[in-house]
Structure 1
Amino acid sequence: MSLSFSVLASGSTGNAIYIETPEKKLLVDAGLSGKKIEKLFADASLSISALDGILVSHEHSDHIKGVGILARRYGLPVYANEKTWAAMAPMIGAIPAEQQFMFETGMLQTFADVDVESFTVSHDAADPMFFSFVHEGRKLTILTDTGYVSSRMMAAAEESDVLIFESNHDVGMLQMGRYPWSVKRRILSDEGHVSNEDAGIALADLVRKRRADIYLAHLSKDNNMKDLARMTVQQTMELEGAAPGEDFKLFDTDPEIPTKLRRID
């Protein structure tokens, strides 16, 4: 086995991504109930009891709902930055001190045979961050929950073989939808979520440097659709000079159905 992954769940109702190397098995976020995450592991033919730890991106409930119960039930270490620990502590319940670990934004930590680099994103949370994973020359980057894609985020995601990338909403659907204006303004802000079009622009720039498989993630249940996201991102990337098949391939994620465990060859 090389660097492998499964997007167990992705969307506004909950997020969890499984990362595996020959020596480490990690979960990025646990934004669903413990029971639901256990089912997702079973559906993906994975063993939750074999996990080595949970990495937490930020304290919003769709990323931490199951952190406490999984940590206590399976004795798992939990890694988050200082501000995220402070913000999520009242929401996840007591976790033994020996299971609490710091992973500050902008740092690189090595977990046995995988290097994990954290990087800041722009979101309305205490200190939100996401991660790149590197093992034996293969790289996977998770980049969601950001209102825009900065040059620093782009640098962190460069040279990735796989990008799990936010394509949250269609701007027209959001503007015409049922959300109150305050929520629409938050989503459209620099601390909200990336639209399909903006995702396509950023992704086109990234795949010019290295071909990548792209998993469109964190789609809004109310303001997006899989087919629309895929079509808009692909059309935008083509307009920016990226060729489907040659430079990239697009894949869906789902809030309830995990992707098959995939090895990055």
Structure 2
Amino acid sequence: MCLQFRILGSSSSGNAALLTTAGCKVLIDAGFSARKLDQLLGQCGESLAGIDAIFLTHEHSDHAAGLKGLRRHPHIKVFANHETMQAAQTRLNHRPPWQVFETGRTFAFHDLEVTAFSVPHDAYDPVGYFFESGGDTLFSPRRSVAWATDLGYIPANVSEKIRHADLLVLEANHDTEMLERDERRPWSLKQRILGRHGHLSNDAAFELLCGVESPRWRHVCLAHLSRDCNDVGLVERHFAGLRSRGRSFGLSVIDPVNGIGPAYDLATL
């Protein structure tokens, strides 16, 4: 079984991650220019030439900016639901090879099994993803990755879906006090971020990780940190309290400035 995962970057400036199986290499979001994506992939020994598909969560530029440069890579399929596809297409002067799915349905791409689930965010039809690959044997155990960023709160359907993942990517966007003190953001933007279709705070993410019953998580990556209204050290200290709440999975915080996160081989995680 081969299922490897690595975040290439995650912040309000851009988001993308690389997921590799024995049969394909895909990106979750493409929130950097195609040139930047190729540079980031190059640091991992990969390139856009070797990418088979992109799975879009929603149309915002920090998740979809790379689509503009895909004219040079027509082999890359772009998966999205209908509303996201329509919203993203209006910003493009070419038509990528869209692969439109229905949110909530499970489908296959090569040796990946994919489920997109609805999340509450201020986009047309935003989703999170649950990716699964492998068999159910000793030599090919089934492993899974859940991606849940850009959501204002955690509905029951999201909580239930992500608890089954071996590796969870979860948003910890902002520290509420830092956001409230921030002088560069207007109050209207702060309200959007804090709202039920905005972004998860550190406290909300912490309570989720403590509250989900019987999670399968072997490792959790905290991602999509605000560069101005959060801090890696602050997040690490805050979430150190998970152990006192009986949670023993591995934890990493993705630095919004320094980009590429650790590489994970889910066979040995």
In structure 1, the residue matched to 2:189 is 183
Q: CA deviation at 1:24?
A: 1.2
Q: Structure 1 residues 260, 48: closer, same or farther in 2, change over 3 A?
A: farther
TM-score (norm 2): 0.91
For 1:90, the aligned partner's letter is T
Quick one: which of 210, 225, 249 aligns to 2:216?
210
Q: Which runs of 5+ in 2 are unaligned?
A: 135-141
In structure 2, the residue matched to 1:242 is 246
Q: CA deviation at 1:252?
A: 2.1
In structure 2, the residue matched to 1:132 is 130
In structure 1, the residue corresponding to 2:239 is in which secondary structure? Answer: helix
Q: Which runs of 5+ in 1 are unaligned?
A: none
Work out the CA distance in 2 between the residues paired with 1:64 and 1:211: 28
Deviations 1:42-98 (A, max 9, x none): 11222321111111110111001012313x2111111111111111112233115xx
In structure 1, the residue matched to 2:91 is 91
In structure 2, the residue matched to 1:26 is 26
In structure 2, the residue matched to 1:45 is 45
TM-score (norm 1): 0.92
User: Are the aligned partners of 2:235 and 2:253 in contact in 1 as well (CA < 8 Å)?
Assistant: no
Work out the CA distance in 2 between the residues paired with 1:82 and 1:146: 19
In structure 2, the residue matched to 1:259 is 261
Work out the CA distance in 2 between the residues paired with 1:144 and 1:90: 23
When the two structures are aligned, how many residues end up with a matched partner? 257
Q: Which has the higher helix share?
A: 1
User: Are the aligned partners of 1:207 and 1:248 in contact in 2 as well (CA < 8 Å)?
Assistant: no
For 1:94, the aligned partner's letter is H
Q: Structure 1 residues 63, 16: closer, same or farther in 2, change over 3 A?
A: same
Work out the CA distance in 2 between the residues paired with 1:50 and 1:215: 25
User: Are the aligned partners of 1:141 and 1:157 in contact in 2 as well (CA < 8 Å)?
Assistant: yes
Work out the CA distance in 1 between the residues paired with 2:9 and 2:112: 22
Q: Where in structure 2 are the equivalents of 1:99-138 lying within 5 Å?
A: 99-136=97-134, 137-138=142-143
Work out the CA distance in 2 between the residues paired with 1:50 and 1:213: 27
Q: CA RMSD in A?
A: 1.5
Q: CA deviation at 1:207?
A: 7.0
